[in-house]
Structure 1
């Protein structure tokens, strides 16, 4: 039983050793294959897996097969060799061949590190009495060949090195370093009464010699054919990978002092053939006795020369082979007693067990260290250092902001199951989650693809940690040790305000009294941000999709990714223009200076939405100047046609005086001169007066505390709040609504 266990352990150890000895082809954690095609570095699939964009490979589906494409030149890859060669497919060019169509665009490699191989490719023309020519910027004039008409009944066989002999088929060589070419044809027959069909193509001459048996088969070719390209890398690119050119003798053999450096690979420079800027190109190779991908760090592994081979014996009959790093030695065979054999076997067995246990312990230790390093890497990349600076400055309320661990949030969202998604947008994806204590939360998985979004993410943490208001979404904490940062908010179940404005909801109709209450709550929250927070806060993206409704349908202001704190004595801040079309302050467009009055303008648009039930930008308002709701509303006020745009429900339920009062307040908020707009504190007070006057006149809004709503989970997913970035100058702000429709294509659905 013990011997059987030792046998299993030894077998497992051998399997580990065998797997570990396989030479890598691609970068770590990068796909190595697309379909059945191996993709070696410097080519790669996915971000960070290739040396530059020319070497990016994408997998696509063609004819129910998964095939690799070189993305920038859109050519299907057949095979890739680390020695600077790859096979791709090129189309055949047809001429006068009825239903066979000539491709519209000839493949071009100009500007790329690729060129057609002069040695491996031939230009072939097929047809009766056809002269085919190729022209290229690499040489003056044209190169081509002519094919005479073959006698009827003849069936030429392609043999030896001759692909075509000039009868119905001809061939010619191509110039070196060619990266693009054009094909043209000429009918050279004396009798041109009947149309002749001809076609030509560039092809790997080895492939066509081995794959096409005779001229008849050549005439039946209609699909793409394989062509050989060669590729080049330059010293600057290789230095970024930690590779540099090594010194070597003129015959290409390494000097003895270089071999003593335990090198497994080497790189050499050659005269450059493609780029006019770089004077040299670089190739890398595995040293003798090693194999693998020399462009990868530690990509060349030792070859075991002692593996049995049927056709090659390295040592004599009375010797046995011992593998060494990069080479091997032969030792004389000696007879050993069975006692020595047993002792050696037992010793090797125990040694293997100890090695296995040690390897397992080392594996666990390395895995733990990698996990720690990975978390540190994510923490730094996700703005952890920036957040630490904010913590040290006292700007973040540490008591109210919890740092969650990745394991806890992964479990809360069922490993971020797609069924838990509440909404998606430009800044990330929001999932519904349940913490260990049973609390329902919303977890935002941010999209971080540049430094600017990291700053937005940290900014949202800093802003929300300072806020404690019943009408502002509460930030519970964040997690920085995952691949992308996570924000944990209180769960707001009833979606966005825009959903209730534009679509009538039976479970919660948006009555006039409810609209007044929601507007008052939003104004109160913004007034708190502007005047009552420890530092004044400008939201910078107020819109109906950033107003959420909680379980009691109270308003909650959300999305503080672009918000900014300002000093108490600071009247404005100068930034790149951020916001959403239809809500942006025209004065902010011209000056790039955002103030508290810019939030007032955006809130004015929300007031008009509540009054009219219409979207801020809409192609349905096709009249000139009326696509923007703010401009349409101001024109209606000037023309004394307010009640033409007021929502029918508001007209039925609201009192005329209250509607006019709310419209006048919206008009003041939308004044093009920011100094003439009221402050949010004044807006909140005026809304309270309108609301109280309605109650005093007999109207009664149902007390939201008394209304019981059974729905805990919304039927519709959240509309995830998103932010658009706009250019800083659009000319006259009064013409904002006249901007061409394509600018608003994302908000007029």
Structure 2
């Protein structure tokens, strides 16, 4: 009985595998493009035709699907020119790589022109096996005085700004910000949309009528100045489409999980291996070493005949083996045929049995010995040279990053600061050679790893890029930042200056971010009004400390909820000084970053390129709004009018309906007067002109006052009753108007005060 069940199970498995094998009659080429399985064009099923049969038919007659199904099914369209080209829906495929797990597609260019013919494109690859390659693509913007955003479905932005004074300032082949700019994209990007900032492109219309933006293949693109002055870019491929590289993978499982279900496991060829995708979930199939072909087909991986290659067994006889080869010395010789050291058998006899060797043999042996000794010496010298080269490179980077100046300043402090300079080997050991498993955060400024140094958990930040002009001051600036000593600021413990990109070591904060507490915590009710007020006050107090109590003073430059960390007691700690600027007294800081989080950035900074203390105040006002409403700053699920949380707040505040967007927990615990005062505080922080905003010190003092605020009107009521009370007040209500006037009086003097 058990034997019968085993045979039936084997038969079912063979049938399942056979059903996934495409028919030999399937079309494997469309025009000049090869279409290898798991990709395919249509299906061959008896007595049936069309896409419905391909997807849903259960007939068991001759024929089979020509692809793995679903999003791997392509169509071969005949163009007006008569050429045939493969398409995935309306997206043209240029080529497909099984080994790399990539396809090249044509992607439309977005444009913004003065003649109102602008087009903002988006591409949604969610719920498909495709995602945009972060290694091979760049977000590219072309134009003069142009700002374009690349938004994903979560609302985060990569921003590129391209500026030029006139036609003479732009250069062919240069895409570094003058006429053309490029920026990287995040991993696992499956959706994007392009939007242009209408405030830009208003001074170059005489010679640059349009601005362009596209996500495209970086190696393909070569900037031409004619792209600025003509519409040549929109003529590429006839209709303004450019190549983009897409990574693809099978399913959403790792190799380990996929192998458990042999009926759906795609690597069915003998001599094939499974490889996990490096860009989001899923896996790929490759042929084993020594084999080539298609691992997705039964017996698709075929042995490579290494003996056909001229560099194999040059001094011996080559014998091809499954997955490899063997070299044997020719008859009458022996030795190592792989490296060409086969010697005649007679020479061995002379060496072993007769001390009276011919002179020619002695000379040959002596010459070979000298050569071997020389080779060994050269190898030893090479190893020593490489080690010295590595040490020289470390010293070079150490000097470039201001390491020697940092050491001198540390000596002057005589141990008052616990800041430490770590070696690159220490950090490699602490992070297991920067293993991806130790990554705890990614952002526009770099990657953060968790590590253990001196028996202490630490966070090690590895920046993506650093301005060459600032490298010399890096060591000195990190020492200054290490002197920042505030309970609500993440402590900088040390740095490493022996690598191309200097590394920063911070204290490890274990309980996630404020963003996680607000938006991803299933039991968000735990965030009481008191907890929110405390977190807000601690964050404001920390920013005030950076603005006014450090020397030199510090502008954070990237205040957002994901940069406010929380420890196990939900104590706030300001983090991520990747965008921070040290400001000498009396000077301004010109913003040079081209990447920030959409929704938090100061609109005045976007227009003037000047980063000020009031830029942090605006961003903190957005954080306050996010904290007390529980809503995301940008929400694509809302209508266009309500997509921006700041715009929604301003609209509702003008209509005395702010309570409609407050978090239910806040409405349960707060009274009317408290909400009125909180509304005024947020409104003042979000003013468009920086000079009209309060200082962080004043914001912190107001939040501290609200924490100890005596609520004389607190009553036990439900959410609906509170909303009715708040929204039911008419605009002419004298009590409300009087209260608001008194509160706003506190802010009248803010505009004339300095940070």
- TM-score bracket for the superposition, by shorter chain length: 0.3 to 0.5
For the pair shown, which has the larger CA radius of gyration, 1 or 2? 1
Task: State the TM-score, normalizing by the size of structure 2.
Answer: 0.45
Larger relative contact order (CA 8 Å, sep ≥ 6): 1
Task: State the TM-score, normalizing by the size of structure 1.
Answer: 0.45
